[in-house]
Amino acid sequence: MPELPEVETVTRLIRKPLLGRTIEGVSVQWERTLGGTSRRSFSSAVRGARVKAVWRRAKYIVIDLERPRGEPIGAVLVHLRMTGRLHVDAATEEARDYTRVACRLDNGNELRFVDTRKFGRFRFLARPDDVLEGLGPEPLESGFDRDRFHRDLRARRRMLKPLLLDQTFLAGLGNIYVDEALHAAQLHPLRRSDRVPRPKADALYDAIRTTLAEAIEREGSSFDTFYRTPEGQPGSYQDRFQVYGRTGEPCYRCGRAIRRIVVGQRGTHFCTRCQPAPRGG
């Protein structure tokens, strides 16, 4: 599903076609995609606005908007959740199925938010920081270092799997990359965060950063005909999965069958030999 690497890939691809463009009009097919704002107020907020910047924070694509004279007016925060996609098409191109929101641009193109399952959000916020400031550190940025990660792990008493999925703890990881990082660090998903010794915390830190960086290099993961970049190209990191979706198949490291359990309603994949069960939590 779209996690940090997929969102980063999408952000990079839509940046160029959006930068400097003015939104001339919007059409909203599914109002709840706006995340609580009415069609009317969404439309009046973004119509006439110009795209000042396109960047990523956690799993959000942030589209900063400004008035024609240059005053900032807020941002559209796009969250793809499970099935959201962004496309920039010629406005004359045939409508895509499952388009929930579309923004007509001043160069004849249209930004389309397509989302079969309707979980995604395309929200205008006058003060986007209200949402973004509540997020945990960016795992690939320099402010996130080994000392901080170790300290943060010790400050909580939670199982690693749900803790790493918590966006206020660390931003950008989802179900797939958490499983991959825990396997790389040889840590059991149910291990309690305050019982991870420093060397293992360092190993997990390295595993998270390496996994995410390599996935970005490969433009994310695509599978089940699910994820595609805006140009329709699949990413290729799914070929590197060590545990995710490999239930019953041999661990590449030790040969034992990968096991699947459910933790917090999430499918969780791990190797019972490489990631031994914690004793007493």
Partner DNA sequence: AGCTACTCCTGGTAGC
Partner DNA sequence: TGCTACCAGGAGTAGC
* Residues with a known catalytic role: 2-3, 59, 266
Taking alpha carbons only, the member of 105, 120, 107 closest to residue 7 is 120
Distance CA 211, CA 233 (A): 21
DSSP 166: -
User: Of these, 50, 79, 183, 218, which contacts DNA (CB under 7 A)?
Assistant: 79
- 109 vs 275, which CB is nearer to DNA? 275
Closest CA to 114 of 151, 89, 144, 139: 89
Number of residues counted as binding DNA (CB under 7 A) = 30
In the complex, least distance from residue 24 CB atom to DNA, rounded to whole angstroms: 28
Q: Does 85 bind DNA (CB under 7 A)?
A: no
The Cα 96–Cα 27 span in angstroms is: 13
Would you count residue 132 as binding DNA (CB under 7 A)? no
Q: What is the spatial distance between Cα 179 and Cα 183, in angstroms, rounded to a whole number?
A: 6
**Binding residue (CB under 7 A) for DNA from 16, 67, 151, 157:** 157
| Interface with DNA in residues 25-44 (CB under 7 A) | 32
d(CA 99, CA 102): 7
| Closer CB to DNA, 87 or 121, in the complex | 121
- What track of x and - describes contact with DNA for positions 188 through 227 (by CB under 7 A)? -------------------------------------x--
| Burial letters 152-169, b for 16+ CB under 10 A, else e | bbeeeeebbbbbbbebeb
In 3-state terms, what secondary structure has residue 40?
helix
Length of the chain: 281
* Candidate ranges 20-28, 68-76, 112-120, 141-149; the one touching DNA (CB under 7 A): 112-120
Neighbours of 174 (CB within 10 A): 20
Nearer Cβ to DNA (14/243): 243
Tell me: does residue 154 bind DNA (CB under 7 A): no
Query: Does 182 participate in binding DNA (rule CB under 7 A)?
Result: no
CB of 120 to DNA, least distance (A): 9
Residues in contact with DNA by the rule CB under 7 A: 1-3, 32, 58-59, 79, 81-82, 116-119, 156-159, 162-163, 165, 167, 174-176, 225, 263-267
